[in-house]
Structure 1
Amino acid sequence: MAVRLPRPHRFDVFVAVGGLLGGLLLWAIGLGVRPADEPAVLFDGRWPLLAPLVVMAGSELLRRKAPRAGLLIGTAAIVADTLTQGNLVTLLMYTDVMYAAVLYGPPASARRIPWITGLLTVAGTVVPYAVLRVPEALLIGVAVGVVSFAPASTGLIVRNHREAADAALLRAEQTALLAETDRVQAVTAERSRMARELHDMVANHLSAIAIHSTAALSLDDPATTRQALGVIRENSVAGLAEMRRLIGILRDEGGDHEPAAAPTLDGLGALVEGARANGLDVTLDAAPGENLPAPVELAAYRIVQESLTNALKHASKGPVRVLLARDDDNALRVRVTSPYGDRDTPRAPGSGAGLVGMRERAALLHGTFEAGVVTDTDTDSGPDTDTDTGPAPDSAGGKIWAVRATLPLTEGDLA
């Protein structure tokens, strides 16, 4: 099976070709590492210089794609070069091969090569001096250090800087990704909040308009029609005002579009009166206490508002009871009950998002929310079902539709 060699990098080809041409130029003019009159260790003459030069140029082709193989081949070539008169370009190319082996090689090789070349440098300094006992012997260690340890150390330093730069770039990308994720989550949360506010503020008015317009069209009674049209006008004006305030907040224009103050439980009376004007028999029993957190008051108000809207659309005739009380667990309990609906279709169409919005409001305060059918003799137990479409069209057994929410009042729960 043939082994396919890696294709060399273009820059490595330039380095190899440039080194080979430079070495040939020095060989042509007869310039070597040692003087021409000094005999070589093993191979004398000019022609033996070419073999290490060509092999070293070939190892340069592997400096990036196969750095360890290039270093092994280059080491064999430099050893052969020391047995000849020597070529300066061959030595220079070997330092580049050593540098590339540390820079582009595996992490294990990058750690080991500087240690190995450092030990060789020490050995090349100590051993010759101990044997020859002449100061010139120290130059052997210097030469080994310049050719091997210096480029290996330089490659390690550059590699560490590159890895640090890559790590910093990765951290910056991760930070940007987290920031983008936070932005998307913030936008999503704000859109959900605005959707809840839009639904809670406008749905009540539009439901009343739909119900009373149906009555005005179906009954041939001028007095009833006039009364229905009055209710329609009142709810349309109020709904339009709410829409204008909401659009002003979204556009952030300021001036004439100042954000409306968040509703509080003090406005429950007006809310109940509006429900009564729309035909509901509502009883309010509210003892929430004082100094309630603003988020709790807003959530409780919206839950009651949406529950009355659902009662207007789904409930059959009968009393609707609204209860707010502060319990011993330092939580506000909200309960709204209405007669279980007995009609096949609601009085006004709905989006099915009302219960979802109420549940989200309770969850944001780490509270609980339940909605479903219970019997009128078991109003303190949990609901039998929890759907998102309102009461089912069945009034058997004296059942009622109950909405219950528990909203913690402590700051820890609101965090």
Structure 2
Amino acid sequence: MDRTPRLSRHQWIALDGLAAIAYLLVFAPAAVLATDVPAGVAVPLVVAVGAPVAARRLWPVGVFVVVLAASVAALALGVLTDPFVAAAFALYPVALGTRHPRLPIKVTGAIAVAILVVASVVGTPHGIWPRLGTAVLGAGFLAGAWTAGQVVRARRAEATRTAAEQAAQAVTEERLRIARELHDVVAHSMSVITVQAGTANHVIATHPTEAQKALRVIESTSRTALTEMRQLLGVLRSGGDGVEFAPLPGPSGLPTLVRRAEEAGVQVELDLRGTESLPAGPALSVYRIVQEALTNVVRHAAPARCEITVIVKGGEVTIDVTDDGRRAGRSPAGYAGADTGEQTRPRMPPDRARTGHGLIGMRERVLMYGGSFRAGPRPEGGFAVSARLPLAP
């Protein structure tokens, strides 16, 4: 980031004032020494040429007209010895503020070069035709000042346009990030709710206690999901109302996900190492990757066994989520709906079903940090998700 301090408008005007004083100090004595022009005429002309440039940022067009007229008069009387330096200095802010010039920058630049080349042929202020040489050089200086102003204006406009595009892109990326977060929240929560609702429906007549337990899980999961959705959707608002949202989830929130998955029939072993010092960005990605992987286990393999390992070591985060892929027609002991004798509906084989936006979202999160991602069936059965996220040094 550029931390160079920039001058204020008043400071630039003060510098223009110093430039005007310097011009007068250099060229006023030469005007007094002019043999054929009285000092009473020469000095006011030089002052009229140099003094107005101090206000060139305040009234660009007016100052340029005054300075150019005074320069032409001074040249005609033989008082002006410089090639319209003050006029070119006054023309620069005029060019800088002109948004729709009639001539493109390449044309004015070519004109400036051509004039300067012609001036070198016609003569210099000390050549055979001093005044003509000064006039030609002055025209070249004016064309050069106009071109310089237009170039700077074009660059500033391009910088402004680029900044606006970057800001719009940042907004778009933020909205996409929020959409991805909402997808993860909704997908995980609805998977748990769907499983528990099905369980409650099957056992409500024979095992009302288990049905009540499933309904409590549905209530808790839905409340948590609504809280997270309000938090994410609040970012889309204009803000400024003093509302503070809870911090985004990280590895510390994984035990809650594990508890919900266990209530949905997945026996989970969670192993976290060194995750306490993770930055906010990688911490959120770890949480969402594990959440999505665990959601897939609940949706496609429950009841099953699942192992989750998150290790921070050697400047990277390693995430491994594996399951044994079991899905039986009868729920295991300890799972809401056990011993009901109800048969589950035929389903697609778990390993073939785990495709779509979930895996794509996990891969995008990993690639955002320049990491690696693998997901697929295990040779011994079940499914495995493995991700590596490098951490910034």
1:24-71 deviation per Cα after TM superposition (whole angstroms, max 9, x unaligned) = xxxxxxxxxxxxxxxxxxxxxxxxxxxxxxxxxxxxxxxxxxxxxxxx
Corresponding position of 1:41: none
Distance 1:210 1:345, change over 3 A: farther
Aligned to 1:334: 319
> What letter corresponds to residue 112 of structure 1 in structure 2?
V
Percent same amino acid at aligned positions? Answer: 33
Q: Which residue of 2 aligns with 1:173?
A: 157
Offset at residue 360 of structure 1 (A): 2.8
Counterpart of 1:300? 286
- Structure 1 distance, partners of 2:373, 2:287, is 14
Report how far residue 305 of structure 1 moved.
1.2
What residue is the counterpart of 1:157 in the other structure? 141
Corresponding residue of 2:66: none
Mapping of residues 318-397 of structure 1, within 5 Å: 318-327=304-313, 329-340=314-325, 343-344=347-348, 352-376=356-380
Contact residue 265 and residue 300 of structure 1 kept, 8 A: yes
CA deviation digits over 1:360-388, x for unaligned, max 9? 33233332222222313xxxxxxxxxxxx
Does the 8 Å contact 1:320/1:339 carry over to 2? yes
* Equivalent residue number for residue 260 of structure 2: 274
CA distance in 1, matches of 2:213, 2:310: 32
Matched, 1:246 2:232: yes
Tell me if structure 2 keeps the 8 A contact 1:103–1:156. Answer: no
RMSD over aligned Cα atoms: 3.2
Give the direction of change, closer, same or farther, for the CA distance of 1:110–1:373 in structure 2 (3 Å limit): farther
Question: Equivalent residue for 2:382?
Answer: 400
The equivalent residue for 1:284 is: 270
Gap runs ≥5 in structure 2: 1-106, 328-346
Three-state SS of the structure 2 residue aligned to 1:375 is: coil
Distance 1:119 1:238 in 2: 83
Further displaced range: 298-307 or 244-253: 244-253
Name which of 111, 114, 117 aligns with 2:119: 114
Larger Rg, first or second structure (1 or 2):
1
Task: Tell me, yes or no, if the aligned pair for 1:202 and 1:242 is still in contact at 8 Å.
Answer: no
Q: Distance in 2 between matches of 1:190 and 1:265?
A: 22
The letter of the residue matching 1:221 is A
* Contiguous gaps of at least 5 residues in structure 1: 1-101, 126-140, 377-398
Question: Is the CA contact (8 Å cut-off) linking 1:248 and 1:258 kept in structure 2?
Answer: no
Query: Alpha-carbon deviations, 1:382-401, whole Å to 9, x = none?
Result: xxxxxxxxxxxxxxxxx321
Alignment partner of 2:277: what SS?
coil
Secondary structure in 1 aligned to 2:388?
Answer: strand
Spell out, residue by residue over 1:89-123, the C-alpha distance to the aligned partner (whole angstroms, 9 max, x if none): xxxxxxxxxxxxx979656532321111116983x
Equivalent position of 1:90 in the other structure: none
- SS of the counterpart of 1:235? helix
Aligned partner of 1:406: which letter?
R
Number of equivalenced pairs: 263
Secondary structure of 1:234's aligned partner: helix
Code of the aligned partner of 2:390: P
- The separation in 2 between residues aligned to 1:290 and 1:120, in whole angstroms, is 76
Q: Which residue of 1 aligns with 2:167?
A: 183
- Is 1:248–1:254's contact at 8 Å kept on the other side of the alignment? no
Give the TM-score normalised by structure 2: 0.58
SS in 2 for 1:221: coil
- Give the CA deviation at 1:161: 1.2
Q: Which amino acid letter does the alignment assign opposite residue 280 of structure 2?
A: A
Could you tell me whether the CA contact under 8 Å between 2:374 and 2:386 is conserved in 1?
yes
Partner SS, residue 403 of structure 1: strand
Q: Does the 8 Å contact 2:116/2:137 carry over to 1? A: no
Report the Cα distance in structure 1 between the residues aligned to 2:323 and 2:383, rounded to whole angstroms. 5
d(CA) in 2 for partners of 1:289, 1:187: 30
TM-score, scaled to structure 1: 0.55
Structure 2: distance between partners of 1:206 and 1:104: 66
Aligned partners of 2:214, 2:168: CA distance in 1, in Å?
A: 45
Q: Partners of 2:382 and 2:108 in 1: how far apart? A: 77
